[in-house]
Amino acid sequence: MFRLWKWYQNCLTFHPVKTQVISSGFLWGTGDIAAQYITHSATKTHLPTSSDAVEEFKINWKRVGITSMFGFGFVGPVGHMWYEGLDRFIRLKLQLQPKSAKFVGAKLAMDGLIFGPIDLVFFFSYMGFANGKDVAEVKEDLKRDVLPAFILSGTVWPIIQVANFRYVPVRYQLLYVNMFCLLDSAFLSWFEQQNDAPWKQWFTSFNPFKDR
C-alpha cells in the first residue's frame, strides 16, 4: 500500500492532470457498476420471492464506458483546474488566511454554489446526449433531475468538503474528492436511472423553472 501511495505521489508530481483524469475515469466507471447493481438488487427485492422476472445481474458495459468518459473528460481535468484555481482565488484575491473559518467557508460556498450545479448540469446533459436523447428530452431531464440531485447531494458534500478544505493539501484535494466520487458517481448513476420515479416528482413540484 505504501508503494502504491508513493507511486501515486510520483505520478501526481510529474503528470498531475493525466493522473487525475485516469483516476477519475476509473472511479466513475466503478461507481456506475455499483449503481447498476443497486438498481438491480432493489428491483429484485420488490418482486415476489417466487418471481423469475428479474434476470441474473449483468453489467451494462456500454453504460460503464459512457459514465467513465464523464470522469475522464470532465471530472478529472475540470476538477483539477477547479481546486487549484479556487485555492489561488481565495488566497490571492480574497486574501483569506488558509485553513481559517472564513477561508474554508468561502471555499465551501463557492464549491457548492458554483461547481456543484455546473457538475450536475454537465452530468445529466452528457448522459442524455450519450444515450441518444435529443435537446428537448435532455432539457426535460434537467428540469426533472438537477434540483433533487442538488438537494440530496448537498446534504452530504458540505460535510466532506469541510474536512477537505481544512486539512487536505491542495494537490491532494481532488484525490480526496475522488475517494468519495466512487460513492458520488454511484449515487448520480443510480439517480439518473430512476427516470420518473414518484419521489422525484415531489422535489420538482417546488421547481420554479419546471414550466419554462
- Could you read off the pLDDT of 11-30 as tens digits, one per residue? 888 898 898 899 889 988 88
Residue 121 pLDDT > 90: yes
Residue corresponding to grid cell 477547479: 82
Q: What is the mean pLDDT of residues 114-136?
A: 94
Quote the pLDDT of residue 119: 92
Position 149 scores a pLDDT of: 85
Read off the DSSP letter of residue 94.
S
Evaluate if residue 46 carries a pLDDT over 70: no
Considering only residues 198 and 105, tell me which one the structure prediction assigns the higher pLDDT.
105
Q: Phi and psi of 84, rounded to 5°?
A: -65, -45
Average pLDDT of the chain, as a whole number: 84
pLDDT at 37: 86
The pLDDT confidence band at residue 40, using thresholds 50, 70 and 90, is confident
Query: Considering the chain, what percentage of its residues have pLDDT values greater than 90?
Result: 41
Q: What is the pTM (predicted TM-score) of this model?
A: 0.78
First to last CA, the chain: 52
The pLDDT score that the predictor gives to residue 200 is 57
Cβ neighbours around 175 below 10 Å, total: 20
Res 4: pLDDT: 85
pLDDT in tens, 165-193: 999 988 888 778 877 877 776 777 666 66
Residues 6 or more apart whose Cβ sits within 8 Å of residue 127? 66, 67, 70, 192
pLDDT of the residue at 12: 85
Give me the torsion for CA of 140, 142, 143, 147, rounded to 10°. Answer: 160
pLDDT tens track for 76-95 = 999 989 999 999 999 999 99
135 is written with which cell numbers?
A: 435537446
Q: What is the pLDDT of residue 199?
A: 53
Instruction: Spell out the domain ranges in the chain.
Output: 2-204
